[in-house]
Amino acid sequence: MTIDGFSEEHKDAFVAFAPTAAHDFYAVIDRVARTLKVQCEGVSHLPKGRVLLVANHAFGWDIVFAMNAIWQTTGRPVWALGEHAWWSFPYLRKLAASVGTVDGTRENVDRLLSRDEIVLVLPGGLREALKPRELRYRLLWGNRFGFARGAIRNQAPVVTLASIGADDVFDLVGNAYRRGERLLRRTGIPIPLPSHLLPIPHLVKLRYVFGEPIAPPAADLSEDPATLRRFRHEIGGALHELIDQELAKRAGISI
């Protein structure tokens, strides 16, 4: 028995989700969003059935504000594919699972999309979230193609989601993973480092913009390397375009 009563099966879709807990959780997030005057635009772009949301990843879990906008507008939960590291933190993992976070496995993706759910993926993972300030608003997806393959396999339209502002909250420097390897003896746990002695957050305006749906290629092409590269490039290009448009708008530049 774990200290928080968490078990391996709680990582799986539908197992630990608690509608009452999710309702209470999003009520709190909604109050915080109103206080911070968080902006969300384009929720209406979400199809009524299955959809894969693909977003850029900033430090922290700011994307919960966009998830809240979907919950408040449509009443639908958003199932977030969590990093495997999530499940190492007692109590936090239990809360995350109760409001819709699941392990980022192929089985969970297929189970959720086959039930016409909304699935959120941040392909860059922690590496993108902990990137240094020089790489703000860059997509660090490496060789990750699983999300594109899952969308094709399940014939789920993809909606890009641009998170604007969260990358500016903290000034991080250096390689958090290399630092973790050096100081924590290859435990795999990254150590983010602020540019100053104290991690003082900047006051920024948080804004989330949903793109238009992108139709996937035919299902029988889900294992075709060329198709996967093109589709991932299309998704990444659409997300970069959204981000560039919003950053230009923030700077007062029309494009």
**Amino acid 183: pLDDT:** 78
% of the chain exceeding 90 in pLDDT: 70
Residue 187 has pLDDT above 70, yes or no: no
CA distances from 191 to 62, 131, 186, 207, 254 (A): 19, 11, 12, 27, 38
What pLDDT, in 10s, does the model give residues 221-242?
Answer: 999 999 999 999 999 999 999 9
Residue 191 has pLDDT above 80, yes or no: no
Beta bridge mates, 164: 207
**Amino acid 190: pLDDT:** 76
**Amino acid 182: pLDDT:** 80
The whole-number average pLDDT for the span 248-255 is 88
**Amino acid 188: pLDDT:** 67
**Amino acid 1: pLDDT:** 61
Q: How confident is the model at residue 166 (pLDDT cuts 50, 70, 90)?
A: very high
Mean pLDDT is highest, among 3-7, 199-203, 212-216, for: 212-216
User: Coil, strand, or helix at residue 131?
Assistant: coil
The whole-number average pLDDT for the span 197-206 is 82
CA distance 194 to 182: 17
Residue 87 has pLDDT above 70, yes or no: yes
Q: In the predicted model, what is the mean pLDDT of the chain?
A: 92
Of 137, 176, 162, the residue nearest 235 (C-alpha) = 162
What pLDDT, in 10s, does the model give residues 99-154?
Answer: 999 999 999 999 999 999 999 999 998 888 889 889 999 999 999 999 999 999 99
Count CB-CB contacts under 10 A for residue 252. Answer: 6
The whole-number average pLDDT for the span 50-74 is 94
pTM: 0.92
